[in-house]
Structures are given as C-alpha cells and as structure tokens.
Structure 1
Amino acid sequence: MCDRSRMSQIHTVRGPIDTSELGRTYMHEHVFVLTPDVQQNYPDEWGDEDERVADAVTKLKALAAQGVRTIVDPTVIGLGRYIPRIQRIAEQVPELNIVVATGCYTYTDVPFFFHYRGPALDEIAGVSLPDPMVDMFVGDIEEGITGTGVRAGLLKCAIDSEGLTPGVERVMRAVAGAHRVTGTPITVHTHPGSRSGLEVARVMCEQEGVEPSRIVLGHSGDTTDVEHLTELAEAGFVLGMDRFGINIETTFEARADTLIEMVRRGYADRMVLSQDASCFIDWIDPNVKAMLTQWNYLHIENDVLPYLREHGVSEEQITTMLVDVPRRYFEAR
C-alpha cells in the first residue's frame, strides 16, 4: 500500500499531481520547438494554428495510448516556449501529464535582452549586481509563467561543443541560483563528445553546490564512451539517454548498445529514457526531418524496448529507468 505521507508533488500544465502519478515518464520531449520571430514574420511553414494544435493532440494521444503517463518538456527561452498553446493541447489530452521548464537555452552568449542587465553591468556599477535571470526563473516556478498559472517543474540550461563560454556560464550559474532558492531539479543539454558534463560538475556542483543527483545530463546517449558515462554516473548524475531516433551521427544500434552496456554495469538507476522528439520543429528542413523515420514519440515503445529485452535488459530495469528514476528525481529536495 502506498504511503501518501511520503509523496511529493510536481507541477504539470494542468496543475499539481503527486509524484506517484507520474507513471511511465519520458524525460526529454518537446511539443513545439520554434523560432518565434521567424514564425511571426514568415508563417507559411507553420500554417494554421488550429491544425497544428490538432496534430499535436493526435500525436500525444497516440503516445499516451502506449502507456506513457508523463512527458517532461524542457522548452525554455531560446526554444520558443509559449505556454497558452501548450495549455490548449494539454486540456485535450487529459491522460498525459506535461511538465514544463524554465531557464535559457544557448550554446554561446546570453540573449541580447540580458546584455546590459545584471552582472553585465558590474564593471560600470563598481559592484556585483544580481542576475535578473534568477528572479525570472524563480517566478516561473513559484508564481507561474506569464500569468497562466502554469508553474515550471524543472530548470534548463545548455553547454555544447563551444564549451563554457561566458554566456553559457552565466546561465548555468543563474539556473543553479534558482535551484538553491526553490529546490527545483535541473536538466542540462550537454555534448558528451567534448565531455561537457565535467564542466557541469565543476561549475554547478563543486562551485554552486548543486547535488549531482538533482541534475539530468541530457543527451548522454550521444556518445558510445561508456567509461566517460560511468564516471558521470559514479559521480551521482542522472544520464539522459534521450535522443533515440536521431540517427544522424550515430546509429540506432550504437545508442541502444551503449544503454545496454550501462545497464550491465549496474547503472539502470542512473538513467532516464526519451527521444527529444516534437510535434513540430522549425530548426530542420522538413525534407530532412522526413528522412529521420524513427524520430517520433512512439519509437521507444515500438523499437527500443523490444531491442533492450532481446539483449537481456529486464522489465524491472526498464521500469527503473522509465518510472522510478524520474519519480526520485522530482521527489528529492
């Protein structure tokens, strides 16, 4: 019998739920990834708003029909977050929880909005100024996003092959600051080929005091370097094996075999699964996107899990990655 006294709550688009209700969770899926000023000025590709919403509802209902109960959508500043549209979709897919994020997505500099605010003015002001990003992120978590009442359930930042640029570092520290205020967990887009997870460890954990267990290192499955992944898992991070279906610079088998080896090494309790898919993304030419035939919400259930089972991954280990680790990540404070 479930001990309700030990449960925590997580905020979703439709309101708070107990973490016991998360169920099977995909920890990195977008609904839309957009470039808003392009879409507003050149809307032909986007087309009709109602049709886009209806298409998203159809795709998310198909995902829910596979038994997935929650998706975590890390769409933040820089990725075209627009919560009223997500609310409209969520109301039509009540069988699926959608957890949204706050933060800022950049591989290089902060958005121009922040160029002459906060720490950027330290030298001129002669004092250390607080970063307005922290208050913005905390407000999204504690009060809600843009007057919608929808509260963010996690924080998001990024570091890619460009490394720890001043802009990336500033966002990373702002996210850590908001985490210290709210206790909200963090996901970081990383580039495992350049071992950028080690920079996350240095800045966010060693210097800013964030516990590694509160951080998902996104896109860890982009590498087959299991020794590096083992190092990160041993440090306490959660590894996001979350790009199944994006087989451009790797293969389905490489992604799956890396996951299988990490399970064999005993790290099922340090990994989460996802596809980094979306209903619509304007970052990629539609003709190229059409070539990625496995990059969709249904790929894990249809292709990945059968492959894992065939190669010795147990149902208990699959449940650990899809249910237990996400719940633990959101419950911890």
Structure 2
Amino acid sequence: MVETARGPVPASDLGRTLMHEHVFVLTADVQQNYPDEWGDEDVRVADAVRRLSELPEHGIGTIVDVTAIGQGRNVPRVKRIADQVPGLNIVVATGIYTFDEVPMFFWRRHREAMTELFVRDITEGIAGTGVKAGMLKCAVDEKGLTQGVERVLRSVAQAHAQTGTPVTIHTHAAGQHGPAILEVLKQEGADLDRVVLGHSGDATDSPDYLESMVQAGLTLGMDRFGIDHFATFQDRSDLVVELCRRGLADRMVLSHDTCCYIDWFEPGSLDDLTQWHYLHVSQDVLPYLREHGVTEDQIDAMLVRNPARILAGKAG
C-alpha cells in the first residue's frame, strides 16, 4: 500500500505516476507575515484543483508532491485540494530542503530529532490531518555535503531504514555528488532500490556518470521537463532516449518539478517557461520519445512500474 492525501491505495492502482512535483512552493514566514502576496486562499485552492483535475484526463493517476520543510509544506491545504480531485492520488513528503545549514529549530537539538519527526510523519500522520508521508525528501546541491546537508541526509536515510519509506534527493547534476551521497546512504543501511537521484535529467552531457549511478543501485529522476533554463527539451529528451538505448528504462522516472504557484521568483520572471506544467510529459515528451525509438514497455517502466516499485516500500 502507498500512503496518499486521501489514505492508502494499492501500488498497483497508482497508474502513471509523476514522481517529482509540487502543489505549492512557498516561503512560510514571508507568507505568514505578508499574506497579501499569496492573495485569496480560496482562489489559490480553486486554481490548483483546476490544474490538477486535468491530469487524469491525460492519463496521469498519481503525483508525488515532494514539498518538504523549507518549501512551505502545508498538508492540510494539500488534503483540501486532493479531496476535490478524486481521480488523482497525491503522495506527500516529509524531510528538509536545505542547501547548506539545517533550520535553527534543529541546530541545538539532539541529532535524532529530525529522524523522530520524519518517522512520526510517516507512521502517525502530519499536522492532525491523518495524512501520512509516502516519500522522504532532502537536497544535496552545488555546495555538496556540507555539515548541515549531511546531517539531513543521514536523518532521512535513518527514517527510511526504520520505515521502508522511499527517498528522493534533489541534486546538482553538474556537481556529480552521487558517489558521496551513496557512501552516506550505504553507511545508514538504505535500500538503494528505493532511492531516486533527483534532477539527473539536468546532466545532459554525462550519460556515463548517470549509468554508473544506476549500476550502483539508484533510480534516476528525469524530472525537470519544461525547465529549459537548465537544459533544453530536446537535450532532456535525447538523454532519456540514450539511456533507454543502454537498457536503463527500468531505472528512470519522469516528471516536471512544477507547481501551481511558487513565490521564489519575481512575478513574470518564469513566463518564458511555456512548457513547465503538469501535462508537458504527456503531451510533448512521450510523443518525442516514441518517435525516437523508446518503446511502450519502456514508457510503462518509467511511468508505472518503477514508481510502483519505489513507492511500495517494504510493504511491496
């Protein structure tokens, strides 16, 4: 069974799954103190319901909302939205998103404090909603394994080892931090079969590096389709084609890393990303992959079988 915002569902019922998305990405302290930036809550929720309701119409059965602490996670809000989109499963995450230091809340607390809260989110539920996390999330960006980042990674790996809940890791592909991440995961007893190396699709010039990460046991997150600031549509798609040609479809998942609203950027500054939306994979990426030799079985692996394997955890 896989935990979702409306309760557990069998992994076999997930359907096509986008493994790295968001509903909202927000700066919680700013939104709390300057609520006019966010605007009308009901309007934002209605817009999210409208956008997400389009996914089942295009064959998507599940998204994983990998919004963690540091990205404005609000599970009561996500549950409110999920209840209005019955055709779509939304898996929520626990974890911490930081590129450097841990949040001050954890800085002077005992080292197990993060792990304990992650486990509670997984086993008891989040913020009184009863919604349990089905994914663990952390980040290793350009700075690599700083002291704070390593502490979060170890806490995530420990919660994974205790609960069987899968892990997705935001990475800086150009930094090729995979080997260092692997070392920590192995030390903490992680099941590498259920760890996604996120944003691997940014490494369009490094297929050999990505293949080595697959050989080590990880799954590649080809999960930024539509974000052309890092790599073009063709380069991202051609990388998937090449890795499928190498027989690695069973170790890739597809997604966009998009959201209904993000407050991290100046309004209008992302308007040039015209394909950065939840339907880009279905409408544009899959036709391109098919035209370039990717088979239906390989597509099924990346969108159905691999997500089900990863999300099922030890229960699978």
Query: Which of 44, 49, 53 is matched with 1:52 structurally?
Result: 44
Q: Deviations over 1:216-251 (max 9, x none)?
A: 000000111000000001111010000000000321
Query: Which of 100, 103, 107 is matched with 1:111 structurally?
Result: 103
Secondary structure, in 3 states, of the residue corresponding to 1:78?
Answer: coil
Structure 2 counterpart of 1:127: none
Q: Work out the CA distance in 2 between the residues paired with 1:76 and 1:43.
A: 20
What is the deviation of 1:44? 2.6
What is the deviation of 1:283? 0.9
Secondary structure, in 3 states, of the residue corresponding to 1:175?
Answer: helix
Q: Deviations over 1:82-129 (max 9, x none)?
A: 11111110010000000001111100000011111114xxxxxxxxxx
1:187 is the counterpart of 2:168:
yes
Calculate the TM-score normalised by the size of structure 2: 0.97
Structure 1 counterpart of 2:280: 299
Q: Deviations over 1:157-197 (max 9, x none)?
A: 11001110000000011111111211111111111111112
Contact residue 138 and residue 153 of structure 2 kept, 8 A: yes
Query: Which of 143, 149, 154 is matched with 1:168 structurally?
Result: 149
Secondary structure, in 3 states, of the residue corresponding to 2:244?
Answer: helix
**Residue type matched to 2:84 in 1?**
Q
* Cα distance change on mapping 1:285 and 1:31 into 2, 3 Å: same
Q: Work out the CA distance in 1 between the residues paired with 2:297 and 2:211.
A: 21
Structure 2 counterpart of 1:3: none
Q: Work out the CA distance in 1 between the residues paired with 2:293 and 2:33.
A: 51
Structure 1 counterpart of 2:293: 312
Contact residue 12 and residue 98 of structure 1 kept, 8 A: yes
Q: Work out the CA distance in 2 between the residues paired with 1:289 and 1:92.
A: 28
Query: Which of 17, 28, 36 is matched with 2:20 structurally?
Result: 28
Contact residue 161 and residue 191 of structure 2 kept, 8 A: no
Same amino acid, percent of matched pairs: 59
Query: Which of 281, 306, 309 is matched with 1:325 structurally?
Result: 306
**Residue type matched to 2:214 in 1?**
A
Secondary structure, in 3 states, of the residue corresponding to 1:11?
Answer: coil
Structure 1 counterpart of 2:6: 14
Structure 2 counterpart of 1:202: 183
Bigger Rg, structure 1 or 2: 1
Query: Which of 152, 158, 166 is matched with 2:133 structurally?
Result: 152
Q: Work out the CA distance in 2 between the residues paired with 1:60 and 1:34.
A: 18
Structure 2 counterpart of 1:138: 119
How many residues are paired up?
313
Long gaps (5+) in structure 2: none
Secondary structure, in 3 states, of the residue corresponding to 1:290?
Answer: coil
Secondary structure, in 3 states, of the residue corresponding to 2:22?
Answer: coil
Structure 1 counterpart of 2:30: 38
Q: Work out the CA distance in 2 between the residues paired with 1:196 and 1:282.
A: 28
Contact residue 191 and residue 197 of structure 1 kept, 8 A: no
1:71 is the counterpart of 2:63:
yes
What is the deviation of 1:332? 4.1
Long gaps (5+) in structure 1: 1-8, 120-130
Q: Work out the CA distance in 1 between the residues paired with 2:36 and 2:126.
A: 28
1:289 is the counterpart of 2:270:
yes
Secondary structure, in 3 states, of the residue corresponding to 1:28?
Answer: strand
Q: Work out the CA distance in 2 between the residues paired with 1:286 and 1:236.
A: 40
Q: Work out the CA distance in 2 between the residues paired with 1:91 and 1:323.
A: 23
What is the deviation of 1:256? 0.5
- Map 1:214-233 to 2 at 5 A: 214-224=194-204, 225-233=206-214
Secondary structure, in 3 states, of the residue corresponding to 2:98?
Answer: coil
**Residue type matched to 1:107 in 2?**
F
